[in-house]
């Protein structure tokens, strides 16, 4: 194909697709930060009246700080829980139960079989029996850990697959390290990148999750955004743009972290 010269149609397809993917967020940013009615919008006033007024107003709104703080706490606790459970499991499976890898992979598909709306229906069923637990702020943590499980597990799985795991463990063990030392000083440094990307994916999922929060009436950041947009549409858009910026930043940092690691290993 390459000797056909420049595949013009391919550039064309990629450009049009890129446009489709950028346009919705550009128009959302316009609504968020530009105070000009759509009906009056034209080339002449495209760059007029841009400001952060709506965003700052939204920051001051009742429940904004509270819902942001709530979502951030959920993100931290969910990441900790999911790493604490999935890292040892993934290492264990690769080390001891290679034959069972397919079965574990099947388990990681279960969150697709039981999607968030199905899961929350189940939570509503169980609610009368665990009222105290559901009323707690942190009751969402284990459910969010389950939702992020396929992503976290897949990241770790592919990292572990490329490691000579048995050799590393045997070497470490025969030099007298305990299992804990082996896990923290030998294995973790080797799968650091995968753990970090797992954590970031988990954070992104928690910051965006709306289904369970909406049905259980938990005021997380996305729930607050929908609520706030009801009273002030432009303010709602402003919050959405800022959340998007935050998440994008997260992924840029992730990209930089993983890249610097690759370059290090290439140069050494």
Partner 1 sequence: MISLKTEKGGTASKGVVPPFLLNWLGLLPFAALIFVFLVVPAIGVFIQALHNSDGSVGFGSMREAVTGQNFDAFVFSFGFSLGTATVGTLFGLLVAYAIAVTSRPRWVRGVAMSFSGVTANMGGVLLAFAFLSLLGRQGVLTKIFSALGWDLYAGDFNLGNTVGLIVVYSYFNIPLMVLVSLAAVENVKGTWREACSSLGGNAFTYWRRVGLPVLSPSIISGFLLLFANSFSAYATARALTDNSKIVPLRIGFFLSGDIKTGTDSLGYALAAWMIIVMAVCIALYWIARSRAERWQRA
Does residue 46 interact with partner 1 by CB under 8 A?
no
* 43 sits near partner 1 (criterion: CB under 8 A): no
| Separation CA 14–CA 8 (nearest Å) | 10
Cβ 223 vs Cβ 209: under 8 Å = no
Burial (CB count <10 Å: 0-12, 13-18, 19+), residue 71: buried
Q: Which stretch binds partner 1 (CB under 8 A): 60-68, 69-77, 139-147, 181-189?
A: 139-147
Q: Which is nearer to partner 1, 65 or 124 (CB)?
A: 124
What Å distances lie between residue 222 and 78, 133, 212, CA to CA? 17, 22, 11
- Sites for partner 1 among residues 52-71 (CB under 8 A): none
Query: Measuring CA to CA, which residue among 240, 231, 237, 233 is closest to residue 210?
Result: 240
* 17: contact with partner 1 by CB under 8 A: yes
Q: Which is nearer to partner 1, 41 or 135 (CB)?
A: 41
Residues 219-258 that bind partner 1 (CB under 8 A): 222, 225-226, 229, 236-237, 240, 243-244, 248, 251, 255
Which CB, 22 or 65, lies closer to partner 1?
22
The residue (of 190 and 258) whose beta carbon lies closer to partner 1 is 258
Minimum Å gap between C-beta 146 and partner 1 is 5
Beta carbon nearer to partner 1, 163 or 244: 244
The terminus-to-terminus CA distance of the chain in angstroms comes to 36
* CA separation, residue 125 to residues 162, 191, 203, 216, 249 (Å): 42, 39, 27, 12, 38
**Least CB distance to partner 1 at residue 115 (A):** 4
**Minimum CB distance to partner 1, residue 190 (Å):** 19
143-162 residues in contact with partner 1 (CB under 8 A) are 143, 145-146, 149
Q: What is the 3-state secondary structure (H, E, C) of 93-162?
A: HHHHCHHHHHHHHHHHHHHHHCCHHHHHHHHHHHHHHCHHHHHCHHHHHHHHHHHHHHHHHHHHHHHHHC
Q: Binder to partner 1 among 25, 63, 138, 184 (CB under 8 A)?
A: 25
Among 93, 165, 187, 194, binds partner 1 (CB under 8 A): 93
Binding region for partner 1 (CB under 8 A) out of 34-42, 60-68, 71-79, 155-163: 34-42
Q: Does 47 bind partner 1 (CB under 8 A)?
A: no
27 scored as a contact of partner 1 (CB under 8 A):
yes
How far apart CA 35 and CA 234 sit, in angstroms, is 9
Q: Which of 19, 56, 122, 164 lies at the binding interface for partner 1 (CB under 8 A)?
A: 122
Angle at 202 between CA 60 and CA 217, to 5 degrees: 50
| Cβ atoms within 10 Å of 202's Cβ, excluding its own | 27
User: For residue 150, which of 105, 92, 113, 196 has the smallest C-alpha distance?
Assistant: 105
Query: Nearest approach, Cβ of 222 to partner 1 (angstroms)?
Result: 4
């Amino acid at each position: 194909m390459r000797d056909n010269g420049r595949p013009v149609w391919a550039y064309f397809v990629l450009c049009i697709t890129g446009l489709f993917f950028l346009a919705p967020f550009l128009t959302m940013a316009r609504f968020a930060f530009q105070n000009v009615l759509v009906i009056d919008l034209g080339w002449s006033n495209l760059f007029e009246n841009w400001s952060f007024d709506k965003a700052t107003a939204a920051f001051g709104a009742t429940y904004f700080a509270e819902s942001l703080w709530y979502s951030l706490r959920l993100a931290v606790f969910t990441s900790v829980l999911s790493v604490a459970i999935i890292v040892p499991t993934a290492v264990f499976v690769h080390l001891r139960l290679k034959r069972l890898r397919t079965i574990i992979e099947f388990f990681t598909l279960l969150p697709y079989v039981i999607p968030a709306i199905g899961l929350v229906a189940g939570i509503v069923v169980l609610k009368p029996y665990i009222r105290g637990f559901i009323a707690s702020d942190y009751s969402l943590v284990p459910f969010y850990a389950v939702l992020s499980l396929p992503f976290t597990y897949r990241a770790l799985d592919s990292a572990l697959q490329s490691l000579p795991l048995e050799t590393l463990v045997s070497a470490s063990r025969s030099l007298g390290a305990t299992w804990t030392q082996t896990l923290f000083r030998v294995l973790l440094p080797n799968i650091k990148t995968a753990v970090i990307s797992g954590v970031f994916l988990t954070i992104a999922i928690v910051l965006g999750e709306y289904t369970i929060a909406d049905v259980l009436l938990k005021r997380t950041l996305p729930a607050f955004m929908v609520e706030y947009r009801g009273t002030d549409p432009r303010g709602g858009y402003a919050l959405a743009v800022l959340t998007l910026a935050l998440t994008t930043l997260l992924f840029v940092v992730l990209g930089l972290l993983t890249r610097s690691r690759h370059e290090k290993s290439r140069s050494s």
